[in-house]
A and B are shown apart, each in its own frame.
Chain A
Amino acid sequence: MSDVTGNGKFLVGIYDDDDVVLKAVRDVKDAGVRIHEVYTPFPIHGLDIALGHPRSRLGIAAFLFALSGTSTALLLTAYMESFDWPMIVGGKDSYSIIVYVPIIFELTVLFCALGMVGTFIVSNGLGPTVKPLMYDLRTTDNKFAMAIDMSKNNLGEGDVERILKNSGAAEVNVKQF
C-alpha cells in the first residue's frame, strides 16, 4: 500500500485520458522523476505494474482473517456444545463437527469480509474524523492526477513541470499540504 500521508510540496499533473496517463507514467519515470502516486476516477489496468507497486499482500491478509474465523467458529461451537451446555440433537453426539460446518463456513466468510473492510480502511487512512488528502478534486470525476513529491526528487520545479507537460499533462498545479 502506498503512503497516504502527504506533507510538503507536490506537483500535480492533470491528465484527460486513461491511456495518456498510463503512457505518461512510463515516460515520466524514464525521465528520472519519482512518482508519488497516480489518482484516477476508476481503476486503470496495468497502472500498478507501470508504477512499480509490489504485488499486493491482500491475499495473505484475507487468508489469515479467514483462518481466524475458522478457528473462532471451531472453538465457539466446541465450547458451547461440549462444555458449556452439551445437548443431544437428532441422536447425534454432542459435538458432531458436520453439523457445524455451515457455522464454520459462515464465520470464516464473515471474519474475512470484516477483516478486509478493516484492512481497506486502515491502509487507505480513512476514518470518520480523517480529512482525506485531495490532490485534485476532479479525480473523483473525470480527470487523472499524477502527484510528484518534490521533497523526494532532486529535479527542479521547472524541470518536473516540463516533463509532466511533455508527457501529455493538460495542466500542472502546485499543491502544498
Chain B
Amino acid sequence: MASAHAIPSLDEQFEFTAESKRRLLIGIGVGVALVAIGSYLLASGVGSHEQHEVVHGAGASEGHDGGHAYKWTNRLYANIWLNAIYFIGASVIGMFFISYNYLAQAGWSSAFKRIPEAMPAYVLPMGIVIIAVFFLAGHDLFHWTNPDLFNKTSESYDPVIAGKQGFLNTPFYLIRLAIYIVSWYLLWRMLRNFSLQEDLHGGTEYYEKSIKWGTAFLVVFAVTSSTSAWDFVMSIDTHWFSTMFGWYTLASWHVTGLAIITLTVVTLKERGYLQIVNDSHLHDLGKFMFAFSIFWAYVWFAQFMLIYYANLPEEAIYYRERFSGYGGIYLAPFFINIFLNFVFPFFVLMTRDSKRTYIFLKIAAWGIIVGHYFDFYTNIMPGTVGEHAGFGPIEFGMILIFACGFMWSLSSQLAKANLIAKNHPMLEETLHHDI
C-alpha cells in the first residue's frame, strides 16, 4: 500500500566477522580433507572398478577410447571442472542480473543490488581454476584434444570431430576461455566501480554509464553465454550437439544465480540487514525463481523431447548414456535433476504466500541450488569419467571447498561497500515497492 511509512536507515555496513571467516576456513579444511581421503581411496583402488575391466556399457560406445584410459585423477579433475563451471556461471549471473535491470531501468531491484553486484568477483578465481584444469587435464576431460583425431593417416581419425576442428582446437579454445573470463570480469569491475563511485558522489552520471556498459555486457553475454556452454560442457561429448544447449545452460546458471541472490537476501534480512527490503521484493524474487525454474524445465524438455521423438542414433545416444549406460548410475541424478529443478520449486513457490515467507523461499532456493549441481553433474560426468563416477568424499569435499570459497568471496565483497546503494537514482521507487 502506498501509505506513508517510516523509511529505515540506508546506512548498513555488512560485517564479515572473524567468526564467519573461521567457519568458512573450517569448511574449506574439511573439504580438502575429504578430497584427500577420497583421492587416497581412489588411488588405492577402493570403491573403484578399475581392476575389473568393466566392459563399457551400451551407452559408452561413442567409439573412441583411443588415447585416454581412465585414471583416478580423471574423477578428481572432472569434479574440479564441474564445480568451477557451476560457480563461474552462478557468479556471472550476478552481473547479468544487474545489467538487465539497468537496461530495463528497473527500480525495484536497487534495494538489494549490492548482492548480485558482489557475486561476479568469483569469476576470476574460477576462471583461473578452469584454465589450470584445462592445462593439467585437458586430455583427460576433452576427447577432442587428441590431435590424432584430425589426422587422416591416423588410426583414430574421426571425420565427425575433424569437421569441428575449426572451432574445437586448443589455441582457439584457450583464446575463447580468456575472452570469457576477461570480458565478464572487466565489465563487472566497471559496473562495480560506477556503483561505488555513485555512493560517494551521487548524481545520475554513473547510472547512465552503468546502463551503457551493462548493455554492452548483455551483448557480450548473449554470445559468450552460449559459446561458453558449448566449450565448458557440450564439447565434453564431442560427437553430440544440441542447438538448445546454450540456452539450456544459461537457464540453469540463471536460476541458480537467482536462487543464490534470494537466499542471500533472506539470510541477510534474518540477521537484521537490508531493512528496506520488504515482502514485495521477496515476492518478486520468488516469482523470478518460479518463472525461471519453469523456463529451465521448458528448455530442458524441448531439448529432450525433440531428441526422443526424432530418435536419431547420434543424438539419442546422449540420453541413452544417462538412462541405461554405465550400469545405470546416472539414472538417479537424472531424475533428481528434474524433480529438484522443476517439480519441487513449481509446487513450493506456486502460492502467493509462499513467495512472501522466508522458510519457503529458503527451501525452494536450496532445492534449486542443489538441483542444478545435479544438472551439471549429469551433463559433465558421463563424458568424462563414465562408469567411474559416484558420490564419495571427493564430490562432497569439492563442493565444500568451492561453496565456502564462494561464500568467502561474496561476504568480503559485501563488506567492502555499504549494503544499500544509497545514491541509486531509483532508490525512491524501491523504497515504496509494493505489488
Interface residues of A (CB under 8 A from B): 22, 45-46, 49-50, 59, 90-92, 98-99, 101-102
The answer, among B309, B351, B434, for a CB contact under 8 Å with A90, is B309
Q: How far is the CA of A80 from the CA of B309 in the complex (A)?
A: 19
The answer, among A22, A92, A98, for a CB contact under 8 Å with B2, is A22
B311 within 8 A of A: yes
Q: How far is the CA of A90 from the CA of B316 in the complex (A)?
A: 13
**Interfacial chain B residues near A90, Cβ < 8 Å:** 309-311
The answer, among A45, A50, A102, for a CB contact under 8 Å with B305, is A102
Q: A22-B2, A46-B2 known; A59 and B309 CB under 8 Å?
A: no
**Interfacial chain B residues near A59, Cβ < 8 Å:** 351-352
B301 within 8 A of A: yes
The answer, among A45, A50, A102, for a CB contact under 8 Å with B434, is A45
Interface residues on B, range: 10 to 19
**Interfacial chain A residues near B310, Cβ < 8 Å:** 90
Contact between B352 and A46, CB atoms less than 8 A apart: no
B7 within 8 A of A: no
Q: A59-B352, A98-B305 known; A46 and B434 CB under 8 Å?
A: yes
Min Cβ gap B188→A in Å is 34
Contact between A91 and B305, CB atoms less than 8 A apart: no
Q: How many A-B pairs fall under 8 Å by CB?
A: 26
Q: How far is the CA of A99 from the CA of B351 in the complex (A)?
A: 29
Q: How far is the CA of A92 from the CA of B305 in the complex (A)?
A: 12
Min Cβ gap A98→B in Å is 6
Contact between B2 and A99, CB atoms less than 8 A apart: no
Q: How far is the CA of A124 from the CA of B352 in the complex (A)?
A: 24
**Interfacial chain A residues near B301, Cβ < 8 Å:** 101
Min Cβ gap A160→B in Å is 25
Q: A45-B434, A46-B434, A59-B352 known; A99 and B1 CB under 8 Å?
A: no
**Interfacial chain A residues near B100, Cβ < 8 Å:** none
Contact between B311 and A49, CB atoms less than 8 A apart: no
**Interfacial chain A residues near B1, Cβ < 8 Å:** 46, 49-50
Contact between A99 and B434, CB atoms less than 8 A apart: no
CB closest chain-A residue, reference B350:
A63
Q: How far is the CA of A90 from the CA of B315 in the complex (A)?
A: 15
Contact flags B334-358 to A (C-beta < 8 A → 1, else 0): 0000000000000000011000000
Name 13 extra pairs, CB < 8 A, besides A92-B309, A99-B308.
Answer: A45-B434, A46-B1, A46-B2, A46-B3, A50-B1, A59-B351, A90-B309, A90-B310, A91-B311, A98-B305, A99-B305, A101-B305, A102-B305
Contact flags B286-313 to A (C-beta < 8 A → 1, else 0): 0000000000000001001100111100
Q: How far is the CA of A136 from the CA of B309 in the complex (A)?
A: 58
**Interfacial chain A residues near B351, Cβ < 8 Å:** 59
Q: How far is the CA of A46 from the CA of B432 in the complex (A)?
A: 12
Contact between B309 and A99, CB atoms less than 8 A apart: yes
CB closest chain-A residue, reference B304:
A98
Q: How far is the CA of A102 from the CA of B301 in the complex (A)?
A: 10
Of the A-B pairs whose beta carbons lie under 8 Å apart in the complex, a sample of 26, sorted by A's number, is A22-B2, A45-B2, A45-B434, A46-B1, A46-B2, A46-B3, A46-B434, A49-B1, A50-B1, A59-B351, A59-B352, A90-B309, A90-B310, A90-B311, A91-B311, A92-B309, A98-B304, A98-B305, A98-B308, A98-B309, A99-B305, A99-B308, A99-B309, A101-B301, A101-B305, A102-B305
